[in-house]
Amino acid sequence: MSMSKATRLFIILGGFFIANTLLAEFIGVKIFSLETTLGFMPRNWTVFGVEGLGFNLTAGVLLWPVVFVMTDIINEYYGVRGVKLLSYLAIGLVSYSFIMIYGAMQLAPNSWWESVSGVTKDIASMSDAFNAVFGQGLWIIIGSMVAFLVGQILDVMVFQSIKKRTGESKVWLRATGSTLVSQCIDSFLVLVIAFYIGSDWELIRVLAIGMMNYIYKFAVAIILTPVIYLAHHLIDNYLGEELAKTMKEEATLNT
C-alpha cells in the first residue's frame, strides 16, 4: 500500500522533531560561552541586580529554537493534535532514554576501558567521566521535561489563536509570536524547577539567568523567521497547492 504524501511528511517532520528534542536533552549538559565562541570578549552584564552575567548557555539552546520552529510547522499542517502527539511521544522517549542511561551507569566498567582505552588514556577514569557527562541531576531532568511540555502546549494555543484572527496571512506573526511566548515560559520554568526548587538558588539569580537565556532565544526566533517561510514554500510544493490548503484548513479545525 502506497503511503500518502501527508503521512510521509508527518513521519519526516515528526522524526526530525523527536531527534532534535533528544539531542537537545543530551548535549544540554555542556555549558558554553556564546561570546567566546563567536570570538568576542565575555561581557559582564547586570540583570535584576545580579552581576557577572554573560551569555553562558547550555548547548541545548542550539536545538531548542529549532524544535519550536518545527512545532509551528507541524501545527500549521497537522493542528494541535499532531503537535501534542509528538510532544507526548518525545517526553516518553526522553524518559525512556534517561532510564536506559541510568542503567548503563550502574554497570561495572571493564578494567581496560576504564583506564587505557585508546586516545582517552589520559582520562583517570572513563567510568567517572561517562557518569559525569550523562548523569544529570533529577531536578534538571524534571524541570527540562515539564518546561518542554508546558512550552509546547502554550505554543500551539497561541499559534492557533493568532491564526484564527489573521487567517492564512501573517505567517511570521503566528510562528514567531507563539515561539516568543512559549520560549519565555520555557526559559524561566526549567530554571525555577531545577535550581530554585531543586537546589535552593536565590530566586532573583534564577530569574536573571533566565532573562539572559530568553534574550538569546528571542534573537534566534527572529533570525529563524525566514526559515519558516522557506519551509512553507518547500512543503507546499511537495504537497501540491490543493492538498496543502486542505491540510491547513483541517489543522485549524483540529484543535
More reliable by pLDDT, 135 or 41:
41
Query: What backbone torsions phi and psi does residue 70 show, to the nearest 5 degrees?
Result: -60, -40
pLDDT at residue 255 above 70? no
- Mean pLDDT to the nearest integer, 234-249: 89
Cα(3)–Cα(5) distance, rounded to whole angstroms? 7
- Mean pLDDT to the nearest integer, 147-172: 82
Mean of pLDDT over the chain: 83
pLDDT of residue 1: 39
pLDDT at residue 135 above 80? no
Amino acid present at 16: F
Residue % of the chain over a pLDDT of 90 = 11
Length of the chain counted residue by residue: 255
Segment (H or E) for 52: strand 50-53
Q: At what angle do helices 138-166 and 171-191 cross, to 10 degrees?
A: 160
141 within 8 A of 98, measured Cβ to Cβ: yes
> DSSP assignment, residue 200?
-
pLDDT at residue 205 above 80? yes
**CATH number 1.10.1760 given to 5-109+124-250:** yes
Query: Closest Cα partner for 248 from 165, 186, 160?
Result: 160
pLDDT of residue 14: 92
pLDDT digits (tens, 9 = 90+) for 73-92: 898 899 888 888 999 999 99
pLDDT of residue 89: 93
pLDDT of residue 170: 78
- Mean pLDDT to the nearest integer, 97-116: 83
Rounded to two decimals, what is the model's pTM? 0.82
pLDDT of residue 118: 54
